[in-house]
Structure 1
Amino acid sequence: MTSPYSLPCLKRVAICGGTHGNEMSGIFLVRHWIRNPSELQRDTFCATPFLGNPHAIEKSVRYIDRDLNRTFSAEFLNSKDSESYEVRRAWEVNQIFGPKSSSQAYDFMFDFHNTTSNMGTCLIVDSEESLLSMHMCNYIQKHYTRSSCPIYLYQLAEEETNSINSVAKAGLAFELGPQPHGVLRADHLAQMRSLTACALDFIDLFNKGMLFPAFEIDAHKAVQYVDFPRYPNGEISAVVHPKLQDKDFLPLKPGDPIFQTADGEDILYEGHDITYPAFINEAAYYEKKVAFVKTEKHTFSLPALQKKF
């Protein structure tokens, strides 16, 4: 019998809301937990809540100068001087919860997000190689009963992790939608709260020595960003097709419509393989020139996991 993979106890756990200052579920919950952290207490640890981008939260905007959740790369963390508020904030977060890739970094960080896309209750991990996070996803899928929880693996090939939770040794993001930016929804608040409780229970059980057996799990791995059709001057020339809208994580086949012009002309998907689009028509991605993200659906096999004794 193969021995389980072992990792140390998770003693220092952080929960971030407001990495984007207009995604309200995490902001609301973190503010509540800062006032009353008892909900984050478990037998073996207590999670630390914090607000990711305070200035953007004050203005109810995604960011001030640049996207904070794309700012935790070596390029920005190692830069000596910057006028960008988000770069300076990344230094602060890295100093408190990191340094990134060091033995002093926090053991785990959660990051809370809302999306205008129909992503449902989505669990976001950098890659399938993040064993602890994938085990947590498997536990959540088995114990969270309100809805299915698709897994989105965001790290493209050869891409450096640059999200806020990459400062910690491991991390997981919750992406709930559809929800308009700047708006609170009680149903998504309740879902995010329950997801958090489930995830914290997993950490507590891990710390107490529970053996988590090997398993297979499906996940959607990002492979390509797809832009809107555009006129030569850069303006968008077609919108997301009604038959694609709200179909996040559902199969998109070659020849299916993906865009529609103002004249009613359909633009079809010309890929050769079935893809599973995510973040379809996300409002915040217009500036990034992303209409949706192509993903591949894979089944991954993960080894057993247990606390290092």
Structure 2
Amino acid sequence: MEVDEVVCLPRLSRVAVCGGTHGNELSGVYLVRELLKARKEAMEKKKEEEEEEEPASVLMVLSNPRATQHCRRYVDADLNRCFTHATLNGPVSDMAPYEMVRARELNTLLGPKGSGEAVDLVCDLHNTTANMGLCLIAYSDCDWICLHIFRHLQRQMPDVPMRFIHFDVSRKESYSLDSVGKHGFAMEIGPQPHGVVRSNIYTAMKDGVQHMLDWIHSFNSGTTFEGGFVDVFTMVKHIDYPRDGQTHDITAAIHPELQDRDFCLLHPEDALFQTFSGETLRYKGIEPLFPFFVNECAYYEKGIALSLARKRHVMIPAVRVQTEAEQQTDEQGFASEEE
């Protein structure tokens, strides 16, 4: 692909910003509440004025209100694992977990997943206890919309450590809320303890969302964004804590030399864990990889002490919004294929 090639993409007319998918990750909860409050005040102020057409419709959603009310990650099941087609479309009983029911409600509101009626972009807000800075997490390493938004945030927020994480699900289905949209990503920011809001983390999230919406406004208005390169961290594997063979209890913690060093290259034989008796356990991988989600609190129950990724330099093309004529041509071509 030539660097100067311009890819024309459909307008991003409907965007969803979701917070509280995990009810104890409070930056997203308070930001969505603040955005809803600001929108209400703006609407009241302008209700008697003639408003200009909005470049994009932005829907703010508190994803898991019941878990948020109790300041818990979830009530019955992890909502952010409930967006597979099987869960969304299979039979459901009166005894179904709350999050399964809520996932179907969100799919109706934002989707249906995989359909032409789905919102154009879902940005799902999350916090991590790991020292990861601001990360965009997506299922594709060639979604030019998501990658350009990431590149824009990097330029607008140079003082915030920022990475793009790619979860390769080529052999299985995506399961998180952001997969409902035509484009989507999680905006993950840390470190922040669950059940706590830190002003610096909240502010970074607020700025990130605003810069994302500014980019969408510029894109929809016809701006051409130049191509270039971004670093993409593709997840390779998860590593669990050492465990007792009989009780399955963990027997070690993240080693002090690794703790808080997310995205610092981990080499074979580097210190990985420190047992509770004081022994150092070393990384036995065959290649250096980048650790992230190091000692994430919520992942103890999932059997994940950290994840490992490879870093790649990915070229992204220049992009601009399709003109109406180009969109009509695409639609006619699609209709011809169906016939």
| TM-score grouping bracket, smaller chain normalisation | over 0.9
Deviation at 1:289, TM superposition (A): 0.2
Deviation at 1:33, TM superposition (A): 1.4
**1:23-47 deviation per Cα after TM superposition (whole angstroms, max 9, x unaligned):** 0000001111112227999951241
Q: In structure 1, the residue corresponding to 2:145 is in which secondary structure?
A: helix
Give me the whole-angstrom Cα distance separating, in 2, the residues matched to 1:307 and 1:39.
Answer: 28
Give me the whole-angstrom Cα distance separating, in 1, the residues matched to 2:5 and 2:129.
Answer: 43
Give me the whole-angstrom Cα distance separating, in 2, the residues matched to 1:268 and 1:255.
Answer: 5
Partner of 2:75: 64
| Structure 1 residues 247 and 7: CA distance shift in structure 2, 3 A | same
Deviation at 1:204, TM superposition (A): 0.6
What is the letter of the counterpart of residue 11 of structure 2? C
> Which residue among 101, 104, 110 is the counterpart of 2:114?
101
Give me the whole-angstrom Cα distance separating, in 2, the residues matched to 1:307 and 1:157.
Answer: 27
Partner of 2:7: 5
Partner of 2:270: 256
Contact 1:71–1:162 (CA under 8 A) maintained in structure 2: yes
Partner of 1:48: 59
**1:234-271 deviation per Cα after TM superposition (whole angstroms, max 9, x unaligned):** 11011110011001011000000100111211100001
Identity of aligned residues (%): 39
Partner of 2:163: 150
Contact 2:179–2:185 (CA under 8 A) maintained in structure 1: no
What is the letter of the counterpart of residue 260 of structure 2? D
Unaligned runs of 5+ in 1: none
Give me the whole-angstrom Cα distance separating, in 2, the residues matched to 1:159 and 1:250.
Answer: 28
1:123 aligns with 2:125: no
> Which residue among 231, 235, 240 is the counterpart of 1:227?
240
| Structure 1 residues 107 and 157: CA distance shift in structure 2, 3 A | closer
**1:195-225 deviation per Cα after TM superposition (whole angstroms, max 9, x unaligned):** 1111111101110111112211101111101
Give me the whole-angstrom Cα distance separating, in 2, the residues matched to 1:149 and 1:204.
Answer: 22
Moved more, 102-111 or 31-40: 31-40
1:265 aligns with 2:279: yes
Give me the whole-angstrom Cα distance separating, in 1, the residues matched to 2:156 and 2:26.
Answer: 25
Give me the whole-angstrom Cα distance separating, in 2, the residues matched to 1:160 and 1:131.
Answer: 20
Give me the whole-angstrom Cα distance separating, in 2, the residues matched to 1:39 and 1:263.
Answer: 59
Contact 2:166–2:234 (CA under 8 A) maintained in structure 1: yes
> Which residue among 2, 18, 27 is the counterpart of 1:16?
18
> Which residue among 196, 209, 229 is the counterpart of 2:209?
196
Tell me the matched-pair count: 309
1:215 aligns with 2:211: no
Moved more, 15-24 or 213-222: 213-222
Contact 2:5–2:317 (CA under 8 A) maintained in structure 1: no
Contact 1:156–1:223 (CA under 8 A) maintained in structure 2: no
Deviation at 1:3, TM superposition (A): 4.4
Q: In structure 1, the residue corresponding to 2:147 is in which secondary structure?
A: helix
Deviation at 1:156, TM superposition (A): 4.2
Deviation at 1:101, TM superposition (A): 0.7
Give me the whole-angstrom Cα distance separating, in 2, the residues matched to 1:108 and 1:283.
Answer: 28
Mark the structure with the bigger radius of gyration. 2
1:241 aligns with 2:252: no
**1:99-141 deviation per Cα after TM superposition (whole angstroms, max 9, x unaligned):** 0010000011111111110011122222202221111111111
Give me the whole-angstrom Cα distance separating, in 1, the residues matched to 2:89 and 2:42.
Answer: 36
Deviation at 1:172, TM superposition (A): 2.3
The list of structure 1 runs, each at least 4 consecutive aligned residues, that deviate by more than 3 angstroms after superposition, is: 38-43
> Which residue among 5, 28, 33 is the counterpart of 2:35?
33
**1:34-87 deviation per Cα after TM superposition (whole angstroms, max 9, x unaligned):** 122279999512411110101100111001111111110112011121411111
**1:156-177 deviation per Cα after TM superposition (whole angstroms, max 9, x unaligned):** 4413111101111101221111
> Which residue among 284, 296, 305 is the counterpart of 2:310?
296
Give me the whole-angstrom Cα distance separating, in 1, the residues matched to 2:278 and 2:170.
Answer: 36
Deviation at 1:180, TM superposition (A): 0.5
| Structure 1 residues 199 and 80: CA distance shift in structure 2, 3 A | same
Q: In structure 1, the residue corresponding to 2:309 is in which secondary structure?
A: strand
TM-score normalised by L of structure 1: 0.96
Partner of 2:197: 184
Give me the whole-angstrom Cα distance separating, in 1, the residues matched to 2:53 and 2:71.
Answer: 32
TM-score normalised by L of structure 2: 0.88
